[in-house]
Amino acid sequence: MKLKQLMTGAAMTALISGSAFASDVEVLHWWTSGGEAAALNVLKDDLGGQGIGWVDMPVAGGGGEAAMTTLRARVTAGDAPTAVQMLGFDIIDWASEGVLGNLNDVATAEGWDAVVPGALQAFSKHEGNWIASPVNVHSTNWVWINKAALDATGMAAPGSWDELVAVLDAMKANGITPLAHGGQAWQDATIFDAVVLGMGDAFYKSTMIDLDPAALGGADMVEAFNRMAKLRSYVDDNFSGRDWNLASAMVINGEAGMQMMGDWAKGEFLRADQKPGTDFECIRFPGTQGAVTFNSDQFVMFEVSEGRDAQLAMAKAVMDPAFQSAFNVVKGSVPARTDVPNTDFDDCGRKGMADLADAGNNDRLFGSMAHGHSVPASVKNAIYDVVTAHFNGEYDAETAAAELVNAVESAM
């Protein structure tokens, strides 16, 4: 194959201009859907303009579990990537192994301490040192609704659990799949997060953060599992194994009424030329208004013998305010910096930024269990197992609550 056929994008630009890349960054990530890939290209192009090559290492799987398995194999083999997309407690776990690079030089020069919320710094720093560059903040307790399907019910967007059930019933009567969902453990857990938060901030904190056995196995948790079973009744029979973006496509195409998913789903709607308020509605999961469960995609840099300058350039590029705006407008998330204006964001993006600020100011900003920001991976995976077993009909609500207590206790 000819050299020209092998090179694309910024690499070809550099060749044409007569300059080769000074160094490359090999980036392991799981942004493989159309909307995610479009957002990632913003970062690739930014680095390419600085003469830094991008060696892509995508590992499909929306929750990142497959990527972390691949990463472990690479590190064990002594061949760690230079940069890795990572979430929450995974960052803390790798930092404690002493294999991550120190980003203090660029963080100090760029003033990160003053502009990154403390809830994110809890994962971006280890023992006082910056070890990750946060690219965004995702909030996970969103519902995405096909506006035509909602209008056909004659109802407004639901604001309570009872209103949600009424809208779903009406959509079912209208002959479409009410709830688009992919039967993967992390997607089940994303809905579970919202259901638990919808029963009150105190309940979410006691169960998904503090892991209080009495709350995990109590009557309110039984009710949460009953609500999960109710939502399961609105999902089509072919949901098992479906990727999240395919569930988004069902809503976009009018095959389904709504999807309960984090704000990365908005990237799929935008890529399909859908407009908020015209083609789709974005609302907080009923009962969670004013509260936000979040995760934050961050890039960690592994210790390397070569390419340190390229790593620091990438860390700096990720936190540049202009990039934070351009990337998150495409991705559907909101900036990890508090000083980025909302000028270029659509209505859902502006709502997301305002909700995040309000939740932070009112102590209603919670790390998402489903996305690795409230409990360590071992506990998260134990909760996954119970939630998915229940969603697939293996447990009734009472049994699921009891099993949740046992699973969390065993994982701690």
Which CATH entry fits the domain spanning 141-294+369-411: 3.30.450.70, 3.40.190.10, 1.20.140.10, 3.40.50.300?
3.40.190.10
- Three-class DSSP category at 262: coil
pLDDT of residue 214: 98
pLDDT of residue 62: 65
Helices (H) and strands (E) in the chain, counts: 21, 14
pLDDT of residue 111: 95
Q: Do domains 3-134+298-332 and 141-294+369-411 have the same CATH topology?
A: yes
In order of 45, 51, 116, 131, 264, the CA distances from 318 in angstroms are: 12, 15, 13, 13, 18
Question: Average of pLDDT values for 383-388?
Answer: 98
At 127, list the tokens. Answer: 């023992």
Domain boundaries, the chain: 3-134+298-332, 141-294+369-411
Kindly report each contact of residues 154-163 with a partner whose C-beta sits within 8 Å and lies 24 or more positions away, as own/partner. Answer: 157/281, 157/283, 158/283, 158/286, 159/283, 159/286, 159/289, 160/286, 160/287, 161/198, 161/227, 161/286, 161/287, 163/286
Given a cut of 90, is residue 24 above it in pLDDT? no
Report which of residues 222 and 89 the model is more confident about.
222
pLDDT of residue 331: 84
Q: Which residue, 158, 182, 181, is CA-closest to 170?
A: 158
In order of 22, 208, 260, 296, the CA distances from 188 in angstroms are: 44, 15, 10, 19
Question: Average of pLDDT values for 216-230?
Answer: 98
Given a cut of 70, is residue 15 above it in pLDDT? no
In order of 80, 201, 298, 308, the CA distances from 305 in angstroms are: 11, 46, 22, 7
Lowest mean pLDDT among 42-46, 91-95, 277-281, 405-409: 42-46
- In sequence order, the β-bridge partners of residue 24 are 53
pLDDT of residue 34: 80
71, amino acid identity: L
Percent of the chain with pLDDT over 90: 72
- What are the residues whose beta carbons fall under 8 Å from the beta carbon of 114, sequence distance 6 or more? none
Please write the tens of the pLDDT for every residue from 107-145.
Answer: 999 999 999 988 889 999 999 999 999 999 999 999 999
In order of 71, 237, 262, 298, 348, the CA distances from 355 in angstroms are: 34, 34, 14, 21, 10
Given a cut of 60, is residue 372 above it in pLDDT? yes
CATH class of 3-134+298-332: alpha beta
pLDDT of residue 106: 95
Percent of the chain with pLDDT over 70: 94
- In sequence order, the β-bridge partners of residue 142 are 284
Please write the tens of the pLDDT for every residue from 58-68.
Answer: 998 766 888 98
Cβ atoms of residues 91 and 132 within 8 Å: yes
Given a cut of 60, is residue 19 above it in pLDDT? no
Please write the tens of the pLDDT for every residue from 312-331.
Answer: 999 999 999 998 998 898 88
Euclidean distance between CA atoms 214 and 397, whole angstroms:
16
pLDDT band per the 50, 70, 90 thresholds, residue 240: very high
Euclidean distance between CA atoms 294 and 128, whole angstroms:
22
pLDDT of residue 21: 43
Residue 207 sits at φ, ψ, to 5 deg, of -95, -50
Scanning the structure block, which residue is given the tokens 């015209």?
A: 278
At 305, list the tokens. Answer: 């013998």
